[in-house]
Amino acid sequence: MANQVQKLSYVDAKLGVGLPGQQTTRVIYDSINATAGQGFYEFFTNFAGKTEFQTNLTTNKLDSAESMVIKSIQLIGFFAGSPTPASLSDHLNLNITVGNQVVLKDFDPSFNGSNRGFSFDRLHSGYNNADNLEVRLLTDIVIPPQVNFKATLQIASGANVVLNDDITIVLKGYGRIFSAGASF
Amino acid sequence: MGMSAQDKMLHVANRLGLTTLKDMQGTTRMVYDSQTTAALTHTFFKGASQRAFPLTNVGANGNQFQVDEALLVEKIAFFLPSDATGISYGGLSNVSVKFDLVIGNKTVIKDATIEFGGEQAFWNDGTAGSCVLDLEGVGILIPPQVEYYVVAKTYDCFTRAAVSVRLGCYLFGTGALLNFNTTI
């Protein structure tokens, strides 16, 4: 079975990306400041007016010589509703689309929220937090250069979301960034 | 060296004559279903197309995957919905589960139990008892367009008496998503 380095090279080569690039660990994130009652969120599609701590991208694609493998997905929520705030440990429905293709479909990461005893991944199960969870994927999913991607999230407790609640998605994994390999 | 999850999926698919599964999008996949009416016996996924998020994530296809989609079940877990809405849920809390997994007309897991607090030899989840069964070997494949369901009975883990509870179940593992490798 190919490891993530081999898979990234394979997919990039199939897509005609020739430059070797600098190997790296890549982390990309986007956050959405919610409106009251918002139950559906679309990440990596709107970057207008966001600070560098709300997103580290300016467009919903990686640069021409950059690519990455998604190895883990983290969701971070800030919920201030009272008396019952929304929660990322209630059911969720997460989809990730790369190009026109759904690569993660109807996934419910909430089972990794809190230490309730049914996490997918024991590496992350000991962290007892209902609003900060991470799931390690079993498969390597590649985001190639210059291909649009987005993530959509539906949260079951959306009715408890109040204005200025915040949800952040973080995609982490092995990646490549541009390396000219020569002086300009 | 043991067989990988991808190897097993392709091996089974090949034996079933599913020659195009190898070209599909690899993913990490989970399906869940929950029943919020307390009962002694629950049948999950059968009829799930009649239920909506957050009770289930199987969608209109119900208890079978569409063409060229599959799931290699690597973990099975049960949870207790908190109320009739199914939005929130918790661990098994002194409830154990005895269950069968049926794929097609074949029982592939028979009279297995998830004893509350079991798997402690492996579990690293703080003070929470495990509600997850890790399948031995590589896992069990649910092929495309084959019906699957889980029948579960619940009992008090101490007294061994049957108990009537709300219950939910998830199946987690390596998956395949439909990917048209040609324009249509």
φ, ψ at A153 (rounded to 5°): -135, 130
- Chain B residues with CB inside 8 Å of A106's CB? 31, 57-59
Q: pLDDT tens digits for B32-63? A: 999 999 999 999 999 999 999 999 999 999 99
pLDDT of residue B9: 87
**CB nearest to A105's CB, from B127, B170, B177:** B177
pLDDT of residue B100: 96
pLDDT of residue B1: 52
Domain boundaries, chain A: 4-177
pLDDT by position in tens, chain A (length 184): 577 777 777 777 777 776 677 888 999 999 999 999 999 999 999 999 999 999 999 999 998 888 999 999 999 999 999 999 999 999 999 999 999 899 999 999 999 888 888 888 766 555 768 899 999 999 989 999 999 999 999 999 999 999 999 999 999 999 988 877 766 7
Q: Judge: B125–A119 Cβ closer than 8 Å, yes or no.
A: yes
At A119, the amino acid letter reads: S
In words, the CATH class of domain A4-177 is mainly beta
pLDDT of residue A155: 97
Domain boundaries, chain B: 29-173
Q: Give the closest residue to B149 by CA, choosing from B81, B82, B83, B76.
A: B76
pLDDT of residue B130: 81
Q: pLDDT tens digits for B90-134? A: 999 889 999 999 999 999 999 999 988 777 666 555 567 788 888
- Chain B residues with CB inside 8 Å of A157's CB? 87-88
pLDDT at B148 over 80: yes
**CB nearest to A91's CB, from B77, B87, B177:** B87
Confidence of residue B5 (pLDDT cuts 50, 70, 90): confident
Cβ–Cβ < 8 Å for A73, A27: no
> How far B129 CA lies from chain A's nearest CA (Å)?
5
> How far A28 CA lies from chain B's nearest CA (Å)?
19
- Chain B residues with CB inside 8 Å of A102's CB? 25, 177
The two three-digit tokens of residue A10, written as one number: 């394979």
For residues A121 and A140, what is the distance between their CA atoms, to the nearest angstrom? 16
Of the candidate CATH numbers 1.20.1630, 1.25.40, 1.10.760, 2.60.120, the domain formed by B29-173 belongs to 2.60.120
For residues B54 and B33, what is the distance between their CA atoms, to the nearest angstrom? 9
- Chain B residues with CB inside 8 Å of A121's CB? none
